[in-house]
């Protein structure tokens, strides 16, 4: 009996469950394991997010680079602006800086530049110089096909409308033709040339006399006048040395670079004469002559204009009324916001499409060069093609598109007075979420969130997809049309273009080096730098330049004592720790010994004996797209660079 009882008790113990202590121990062990696994997820999610953002940034940058490659001509340069004086360009702003500026006071009368937002982080390189394009085929648009439409590549743009002293309309652009052919001549009569008549054969040439500050253009019979843009460099003495001062077109004060050439009245010509002779006129306005440009207050007539620094071209006239027969005319096709932001769509006189003009590089179709200011690099623009068949969806490179009422990063509302203020930072709630334009006609396709449009559309702002209404697309024949989409995103995404200048001129001292010039190193390291280096301003750091031709003197026996090299590419030093102080100025450089190891052993120095110039035809050869976005209070950056040389138009 006792044996049976023992067996029963054993069986009951085997059927019993876990004790409470055992359960708790198991739960603790299980929780530790679960928590260990869960801790892996945030890092994984963060990695996925970072990878996604990097991929989107790469898409956006590559898309912009590809678009630049497909254009027949790109801008000469994109340079940094002085926030206290927007008419000045800055040569020593480093391309890699992302700091936020603080503007203490409104020291200028341009309201936009009192807001640090517009000159901070990616909003530094804003001045586009010489964006060039042929006058396009007049298109069929809502203007009745009365013009040739062009969409500025880096819009939206900052623009101010106004009037000049004569009541003519003005804007903030400088629009001019290709550089004219320069011919140096003497304007003073001599025994060999008693009339000193300028020798010009067509209206693509001009004559200049540097010594007497005279200029001459090919005459035109008529009753009006032509205007020409005259940009140049002049030399003054400062601190015991000669300093070069550049004068660039300034729409806010056009008199500094705009000269007028009155037509010759037919009635004033002698009998039988149909083509008048060219005549000299003063470069600078003085006395009773008001046709020249304004002379700078510190201009030194003894040192004068720097030889071969002048760039002269015919100016396009801005009109607000119907075009006449002069092909050098344009107007704005796009409307402007209250904050002076404009999508940047111009319309040109259709007569310009078939116009062929002589220039410094021979006869060419009429081409315009435009200088303008980018409104905001945090506004993204992308060119897309509407599908040729439904569904007519457009997928953008970025996601999380900002729309009215959204709270962006860091915690700011998209449509309030004190923060983003809408697409163009407009201080009202009617601003659109995004804008879509027909890139060929300039017409509005739609403005989501506000404003009229031809096509109905909805936006999946989280995915970055625009759904266009099928019936509207097809009724307006927009299948396959190229459109430009303008929008903003959360995390303050922005993209800026940094471009090496089309061509560089040699400067005589380090202090005179501008965004478009360089200085040759010499024998004195402190005063002249290294003899194997060519020095550039800090704004050119990291860019690529091409030396068209250069000569060096060596310590070898003849004929190896002088050597010539051509068409070599160098990347300008981009490491701030290797910047070099030359004659008191911090500069960056290229070093020819990086490709010629023998340069140091053979004591190479630049030599100008053969041609009078040791280095010739220095051209910019690189284009960089910089994409940034905000991660809390930290900026993340992706750079995409490519070699994209453009022959100089000078």
What residues does each domain of the chain span?
181-314, 380-488, 501-620
Confidence of residue 248 (pLDDT cuts 50, 70, 90): confident
Q: Rounded to an integer, what is the distance from CA 89 to the centroid of its chain?
A: 12
Confidence of residue 106 (pLDDT cuts 50, 70, 90): very low
For residue 491, what pLDDT is reported? 87
Kindly report which listed range (5-9, 166-170, 433-437, 575-579) carries the lowest average pLDDT score. 5-9
The mean per-residue pLDDT over the stretch 540-565 comes to 93
The better pLDDT of the pair 241, 620 is held by 620
CB atoms within 10 A of CB 505: 18
Q: Is the pLDDT of residue 66 over 80?
A: yes
pLDDT digits (tens, 9 = 90+) for 416-439: 545 556 777 766 556 788 999 999
Confidence of residue 110 (pLDDT cuts 50, 70, 90): very low
Distance CA 346, CA 128 (A): 16
Q: Is the pLDDT of residue 306 over 90?
A: no
pLDDT digits (tens, 9 = 90+) for 360-376: 667 788 999 999 999 99
The better pLDDT of the pair 534, 276 is held by 534
How is residue 121 written in tokens?
Answer: 């982080």
Distance CA 564, CA 550 (A): 6
Q: Where are the beta strands (DSSP E) in 488-557?
A: 494-499, 503-506, 517-520, 533-536, 544-553
Cα→Cα distances 126→155, 179, 323, 619, Å: 10, 23, 30, 21
Distance CA 434, CA 447 (A): 6
Confidence of residue 105 (pLDDT cuts 50, 70, 90): very low
For residue 412, what pLDDT is reported? 63
Q: Is the pLDDT of residue 193 over 50?
A: yes
For residue 233, what pLDDT is reported? 87
Cα→Cα distances 236→89, 303, 353, 519, Å: 19, 7, 43, 18
For residue 490, what pLDDT is reported? 87
Q: What stretch of H or E contains 381? A: strand 380-385
CB atoms within 10 A of CB 65: 18
| pTM of the shown model | 0.86
Confidence of residue 38 (pLDDT cuts 50, 70, 90): low
The mean per-residue pLDDT over the stretch 271-298 comes to 85
Distance CA 134, CA 595 (A): 38
Mean pLDDT for all residues in the chain: 85
Share above pLDDT 70 across residues of the chain, in percent, rounded to a whole number:
86
The mean per-residue pLDDT over the stretch 73-80 comes to 86
Distance CA 312, CA 293 (A): 12
Q: What stretch of H or E contains 369? A: strand 367-374
pLDDT digits (tens, 9 = 90+) for 125-168: 999 999 999 998 887 776 666 788 999 999 899 999 998 877 88
pLDDT digits (tens, 9 = 90+) for 471-530: 999 999 999 999 999 999 988 899 999 889 988 988 888 888 888 889 999 877 777 899
How is residue 431 written in tokens?
Answer: 């601003």
């Amino acid at each position: 009996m006792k044996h049976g009882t023992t067996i029963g008790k054993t069986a009951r113990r085997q059927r019993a469950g876990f004790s409470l202590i055992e359960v708790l121990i198991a739960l603790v062990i299980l929780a530790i394991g679960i928590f260990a696994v869960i801790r892996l997820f945030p890092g994984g999610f963060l990695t996925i997010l970072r990878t996604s953002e990097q991929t989107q940034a790469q898409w956006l940058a590559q898309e912009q680079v590809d678009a630049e490659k497909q254009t027949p001509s790109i801008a000469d340069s994109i340079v940094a602006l002085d926030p206290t004086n927007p008419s000045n360009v800055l040569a020593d702003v480093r391309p890699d800086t992302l700091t936020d500026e603080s503007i203490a006071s409104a020291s200028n009368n341009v309201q936009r530049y009192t807001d640090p937002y517009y000159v901070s982080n990616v909003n530094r390189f804003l001045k586009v110089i010489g964006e060039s394009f042929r006058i396009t085929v007049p298109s069929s648009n809502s203007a009745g096909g009365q013009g040739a439409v062009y969409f500025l590549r880096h819009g939206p743009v900052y623009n101010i409308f106004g009037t000049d002293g004569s009541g003519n309309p003005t804007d903030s652009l400088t629009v001019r033709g290709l550089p004219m052919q320069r011919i140096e001549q003497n304007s003073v009569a001599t025994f060999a040339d008693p009339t000193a008549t300028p020798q010009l054969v067509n209206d693509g040439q001009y004559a200049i006399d540097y010594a007497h500050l005279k200029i001459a253009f090919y005459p035109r019979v008529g009753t009006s006048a032509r205007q020409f843009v005259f940009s140049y460099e002049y030399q003054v003495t400062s601190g015991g040395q000669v300093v070069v001062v550049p004068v660039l077109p300034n729409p806010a004060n056009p008199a500094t670079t705009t000269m007028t050439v009155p037509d010759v009245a037919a009635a004033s010509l002698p009998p039988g004469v149909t083509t008048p002779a060219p005549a000299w006129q003063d470069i600078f306005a003085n006395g009773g002559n008001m046709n020249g440009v304004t002379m700078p207050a510190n201009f030194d007539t003894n040192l004068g204009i720097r030889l071969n620094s002048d760039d002269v071209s015919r100016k396009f006239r801005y009109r607000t009324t119907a075009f006449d027969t002069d092909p050098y005319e344009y107007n704005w096709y796009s409307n402007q916001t209250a904050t002076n932001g404009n999508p940047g769509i111009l319309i040109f006189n259709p007569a310009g499409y078939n116009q062929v003009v002589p220039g410094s590089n021979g006869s060419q179709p009429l081409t315009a060069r435009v200088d303008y200011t980018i409104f905001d690099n945090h506004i993204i623009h992308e060119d897309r093609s509407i599908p040729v068949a439904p569904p007519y969806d457009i997928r953008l490179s970025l996601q999380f598109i900002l729309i009215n009422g959204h709270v962006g990063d860091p915690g700011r509302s998209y449509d309030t007075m004190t923060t983003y203020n809408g697409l163009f930072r407009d201080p009202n709630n009617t601003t659109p979420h995004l804008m879509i334009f027909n890139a060929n006609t300039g017409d509005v396709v739609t403005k989501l969130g506000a404003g009229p449009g031809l096509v109905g559309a909805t936006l999946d702002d989280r995915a970055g997809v625009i759904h266009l209404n099928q019936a509207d697309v097809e009724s307006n024949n927009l299948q396959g049309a190229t459109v430009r989409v303008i929008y903003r995103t959360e995390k303050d995404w922005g993209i800026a273009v940094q471009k090496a200048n089309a061509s560089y001129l040699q400067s005589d001292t380090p202090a005179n080096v501008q965004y478009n010039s360089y200085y040759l190193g010499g024998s004195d390291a402190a005063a002249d730098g290294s003899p194997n280096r060519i020095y550039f301003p800090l704004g050119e750091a990291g860019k690529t330049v091409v030396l068209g031709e250069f000569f060096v003197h060596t310590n070898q026996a003849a004929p190896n004592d002088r050597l010539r090299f051509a068409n070599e590419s160098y990347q300008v030093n981009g490491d701030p720790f290797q910047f070099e102080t030359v004659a008191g100025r911090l500069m960056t450089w290229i070093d020819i010994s990086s490709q010629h190891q023998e340069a140091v052993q053979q004591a190479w120095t630049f030599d100008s004996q053969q041609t009078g110039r040791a280095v010739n035809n220095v051209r910019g050869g690189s284009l960089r797209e910089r994409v940034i976005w905000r991660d809390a209070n930290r900026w993340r950056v992706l750079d995409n660079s490519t070699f994209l040389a453009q022959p100089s138009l000078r």
